[in-house]
Structure 1
Amino acid sequence: MKLKQKIVLTSVATLLAVSPAVGMIQPSQTVLAATNKRQISQKDKLKLNHNAYIYNKKGKHTKKLLRKGTLVKYQGKISQNDFADNLYFYQNYSNAHRYQLTITKIKGADYFKIGKNQYIKAANVDAIDGNKLLFNQTTVTVKTKAPQIFMASKNRALTTGKYYKKGQKLVVDQLGGMDVLANSFPNAYHIKGTDYYIWARDVTARQNMDSINYDVRNTTVVEVKRDNSKAPLYAFNGEVITPKGFAWTSLAPIKVNGAIYLWNEQENKAELYYHLTNHYQKMANLKTSPSFPEVVKINTVKIGDAFIKASDVKYVDGKFLKPINSASQAEDNAKIAMSESEELDLKDLINKQIAVQGSIKYKLSSFYKRYNYDQAIDDAKSVLNKGTVSAAQAQYLIWNIKTAKDELDGAKVKVGNLNKLTQNERLAIELLVSNVYSKETDTESLYCQMTMSEADESVFELSIENERDHNKVISTKMMKTSDFAEER
């Protein structure tokens, strides 16, 4: 005999303060349904992105099921954690700081507490206090036949000629804008464990992800604070090294790749600084900009290995930087000599220079990344040759070499057939060659032209010209395509 299931109404208080009042199905399981009515407030509540069971602290579900879209009061504390890379959210429509709700680990999975001995899986939460909860990876479902994308140099999106099928599920671990020209940067997901991407518009995501700028995915961008265009640059020893006659322009993006406390012996204090990623920067030439800051003339300037005070800039984009030391460590290590192990580590990194320079990662990186690495090695050699080195400086030099090496990202273009390149594969090779050989410094502005015959795609002619010298050709040579591309 079939048993009829009786549907009864229950109060918000009875069902864990779930908003609004919902229906319960008995006797097999409790189902808390969402409503179509507009919620007055999501403060102190979680919003679900999926039907979610309630679990106890041992990880056993209680047969109570919360419906997708339901608002549930949570228990726990909201705290700021700018270094969180999973299960975080922003507040007040600003990405200046990241926040997290207390996370409970049960059998290796992440949960949020919603009552006494009652938890729901974090994977089923869409928002906290009305703010989208952001995950470091998720699963997407392809909505319709969608092109497979790869990223060429300079963040350029190109298609491989292959497609993903409708209904196919993919695990993705990044979301960001890709360049399709026409000043357009539509979002695409990076497919985990591959070199490929898929347009966000072509899929439905299980959870939210933070949208990043792929062009600066592994770095951080800051800008000088308003009315602080003359924020100085410093050397490791605290000396001001700002190029004479130059200043920062308003809202000028500055790439930085590290945060470090530096000890200033003259001022007897340690302050937090950011390490500038590149030795060349675009700055306003005050001599040729008499109406600065309203009208400016921009030049590329060589600044060397430089730092800027964290108090002089504000965060704009990219990952948050955790200081590599503390203020007390900066002071203590500035007053003692480097240890024997630090000296050995530093010399070992220097001795690996030739091997690094022979790698594809080095050879096919941009001029700036190769230059940053070479200068990090040269700076370390110079310091060691001068004699006594403090522990603080040795630790910084080790960090600087390792960081510059890690930023080398050269890679060959993946192609289907080296003897029969597609139009997009040829374009990707051309973009890679341009990225490797083009450069702009304080003395020259080089760009290259690549000429490949359709009859023989195994080689191409590379011509390098100097724009500052009336586009004078400074070199022409034949190159092997296989040095820049390889078959999948």
Structure 2
Amino acid sequence: MNKKLVHYLAAGFLGLTAVLTFNQQVHTVQAKIPSTIRTVMYTSQAYDEDGRKVEVKYPAFHQVKVEKKPLILTFKPYAPYYKISGKKQYIKANNIDGVKRKVKRNSYVYATSSRRADYRLIRKGTSITTYGGTIKFKNGLRYYRIGGPAKQYVRAGNLGKITASNTEETIATVTKDGGTPIYEINNGLKTTKKAKKGTTFIVDRAQEEGYADDITNMAIPNAVIYRIKGTNNWLNCLDVKVKKELPHHFYNSEHYSYIRFYQDTDVYNADGTKQDNDGQRIRKQGGNIKVDKLLYIWVPAENKADLFYHMKGHWFYATNKPDGSGGSEVDFGDSYVKASDVRFIDGVKLSPINTTEEAQQNAKPKNDQRSN
């Protein structure tokens, strides 16, 4: 693996550097993506790109035109979705492709709670593909749909947990002459072993990590590493060829929250008092800044509670000191900024961890002490 790709891997997985930009697939202008006709196997609620339900459902066993490349949308659970061609609508890929489950007990296929669909017996230990959630039959038991025609179901209690997503699983073949290193990510990167050219692996996640350079020093955008199924081992996209393209995940946006400063911004302490760093504030800037909490803090100077983000880092680009001097960065320490002064940009959307009443109650002893 070349040094540049290793740098992006370390930054992405270990969070060692601030992430300044994201190549989110949903919000990025891209070349026209090919579409395909697929069959919806389980009635599918449509969502917008922010995870909100829209007033459309796509019925089971009807065909729908979707963009061929599935996407990971930027909201939990970061599952793959297909975009409806020509519309700002997304449906869960698992309702089209299905997921694999291990059969725990020999199972018949049913059409209704009292009638079998056919004479098949699905043997214990095999794997089958199911679509969507469970359906409750008149007998009170729950079943998974397993395919078509429409009325084919297996008792949910006879099946185990999901073992694979058909959307996010493919075969990767090593194509690099001399083989390729296999990397483990565990508090750093290290090579576990080397795989010979022609070796195949089942991979179940594509992690996008920025740019890499190939052997001709040509920049490869949206460089990807592939996770070997069932392990914490990864393959370099430049060294393998995959049977089908997987949706790309973005580690940082799936694990962290980011804001941006669109104006010079005041910085506060945990007790709601405004910091005084020789008159400096966090200045307007383009980078995405990591935050880890959203909470209400009582602001004594305003006699009210306001919503704040807790800053993950301490050092930020700042406005100049009143005398015109000062470096570009200042250590603001453990700090907070008003949510109304910044914009949420990407990643995990935070919810307040308290209420305005709790913030006021928290500040009450301090307020009472000041009045005494």
TM-score with structure 1 length normalisation? 0.38
Q: Which has the higher contact order (CA 8 A, sep 6+)?
A: 2
Greater helix content? 1
TM-score with structure 2 length normalisation? 0.48
| Bigger-Rg structure (1/2) | 1
